[in-house]
Structure 1
Amino acid sequence: MLTDLHRVINTYWTQFLYLLPKLGVALVLLIIAIFVANRLSRLIGGRLQNRSHDPLLAEFLTRLTKWALLLVGLMLVLQVLGMTGVVSGVLGAAGLTAFVVGFALKDIAENFLAGMVLAFNRPFRIHDTIQIKDNKELMGRVAALNLRTTVIQTFDGRHIYLPNAMVLREALINFTRDGYIRPDFQVTVDLGAAGSSEQVQQQIMQVVRASPDVIDEEAHKCYIILDKAEGSKLTLHVYFWTSAEDYRRGVLELKSELMQAVRQRLGELGYPEPATVG
């Protein structure tokens, strides 16, 4: 028994000495692969951040590059160790493994693939204000795009984690993509005996254009539409343009300020019935 044990130990020791140089080379290759993957991924990520100005896509490509380089390095290590059969087995089983995992984790795989599509398709950027499914509860600024979820921060400070598949599948409204947005509000006023529609519209436009946050240029004109007229009572629709960079403060608060200013101006003009603005 001792003789057999000694022979087995000698055999394994001989094989270890034979593989020792290969193990050294494989270890060096693995260290180099990790170093190269980290450096190249950071380099590519920095270049993408500077050129694309899209942190979502840049971060996704950085992670993808790192894991791809690490996988290539691992394959080289297995080749050096003479484990070509393992490499072939890994590559051959990849399709079956992907099928099994995809079937067992259908939702996770679906959201992961949807996250890839969103990262490359880029229907929104970080800090864009978006709304999903025409639902006010699903409206806010994009905080992050993860492998599985899209994070939206609402205007009241809540964070909503939406599955990427839902964001990709449902209708998505981006309020800030163009850089400009056209809010609107209605004004209902009783002209009385001496008032005129032209005077009311002129006074409203003066109030709107007086705001420094309102944009009134050739491509983005402010205007008023007459919606309804019942006797001396008019219902006007006011449209104006502003920057969409900050939807909550730059749009909603500006709209509120203009509505209050219009109501105050029409009240100062002495119309028989206070204007209804909404």
Structure 2
Amino acid sequence: MDDTHMLFHDLYEVLTTYWAHFLFLLPKLVIALVLLIVALFVAKRLSRVIGTRLQARSHDPLLAEFLTRVSKWILLGIGLVLAMQVLGAVGVVTGMLGAAGLTAFVVGFALKDIAENFLAGVVLAFNRPFRIYDTVQIRDNKELMGRVEALNLRTTLIKTFDGRHIYLPNAMVLREPLINFTRDGHIRQDFVVGVNFEQDPSSEKAQHLVLDFVRTFHDVETKEPHTPYIIVEKVEGTTATLRVYFWTYSEDYRRGTQELKSNLMQDLRQLLLQQGYPNPSTAQ
């Protein structure tokens, strides 16, 4: 009975001590919680104000959105640090990590990826190799091609033409070769036309027919320096292989290149058939 009594007495003493510490820290906990709530409210409101002003003055919504998110997280970080200082936890946490030898591990490994991608995002936001809704391709990989939807603190969001969302690390986007298909506003496309010119030994008539048709096709640019032209790649017997080059607007890459080229190739083949050229062919 004495041992049991001593056990319950010790347990009571421990719980009483913890309860006293809790009552001692309760005002600080309340203040820290209030600080976090205020910091969250201020961060949302102030970042919204900053974002509105940046978007009104900047012609680059991608940069404005990125800076808005950065300002929000900075304000939240300040609020968290203040709350930890109220609790007196900043020194405790730092001392514990240092004593355990984890500070270098955390900074060197856990935070390395976050810091690298954040800094890469800052470079991308100010260097601006792409704008919002630009069509880009990373690393010469068709699987990493699509429209830029957002630039986040760690990732760049790209939406592919088949509806997939790809979150690429900012460091990868900055490090790898990036092709921007829409930055210039115009893009050159080409395709091959095979023409049998039995009735046109020089093939000049076919070339003029093809070039005139391309020039008058909708959405094909005809002003210098973006004018369509044709070169003869090879001649085999009575068949000439013509490569057609044309420029178009690249703001909507999928419609401006893929659909336009497809329609142009199909309609050109029908025209050649109507003009008496036997078995014309088109290919990319």
What TM-score range do you get, normalising by the shorter chain? 0.7 to 0.9
Q: Secondary structure at the match of 2:280?
A: strand
2:274 aligned partner: 268
Q: CA deviation at 1:173?
A: 0.8
CA RMSD of aligned residues (A): 3.7
For 1:125 and 1:233, the matched residues in 2 are separated by 45
> Please, what TM-score do these two structures have when normalized by structure 2?
0.74
> Are 2:258 and 1:252 aligned?
yes
Q: Structure 1 residues 102 and 55 mapped into 2: Cα distance closer, same or farther (>3 Å)?
A: farther
**Identity %, equivalent residues:** 63
Q: Structure 1 residues 72 and 207 mapped into 2: Cα distance closer, same or farther (>3 Å)?
A: same
Q: Aligned match of 1:111 in 112, 117, 136?
A: 117
1:218 aligned partner: 224
Provide Cα deviations, 1:69-119, integer angstroms capped at 9, x if missing partner: 45556777899x7x8x96xx89xx9xx998543322233433333223222
1:136 aligned partner: 142
| Equivalent position amino acid for 2:193 in 1 | V
> Are 2:282 and 1:277 aligned?
yes
Structure 1: unaligned runs, 5 residues or longer? 1-11
Number of residues paired by the alignment?
Answer: 261
2:242 aligned partner: 236
> Please, what TM-score do these two structures have when normalized by structure 1?
0.76
2:68 aligned partner: 62
> Are 2:174 and 1:162 aligned?
no
Q: Aligned match of 1:46 in 49, 52, 62?
A: 52
For 1:182 and 1:51, the matched residues in 2 are separated by 33
On the 8 A contact 2:70/2:153 being kept in 1, the answer is no
On the 8 A contact 1:227/1:235 being kept in 2, the answer is yes
For 2:163 and 2:268, the matched residues in 1 are separated by 30
For 2:274 and 2:72, the matched residues in 1 are separated by 66
2:189 aligned partner: 183
Structure 2: unaligned runs, 5 residues or longer? 1-19
Provide Cα deviations, 1:196-233, integer angstroms capped at 9, x if missing partner: 32211111122212222111102311111122223432
Q: Secondary structure at the match of 1:104?
A: helix
For 1:194 and 1:71, the matched residues in 2 are separated by 76
Q: Structure 1 residues 199 and 46 mapped into 2: Cα distance closer, same or farther (>3 Å)?
A: same
| Equivalent position amino acid for 1:62 in 2 | T
Q: Structure 1 residues 261 and 172 mapped into 2: Cα distance closer, same or farther (>3 Å)?
A: same
Q: Tell which deviates more after alignment, 175-184 or 106-115.
A: 106-115
**What is the correspondence of 1:146-161 to structure 2 with a 5 Å cutoff?**
146-161=152-167
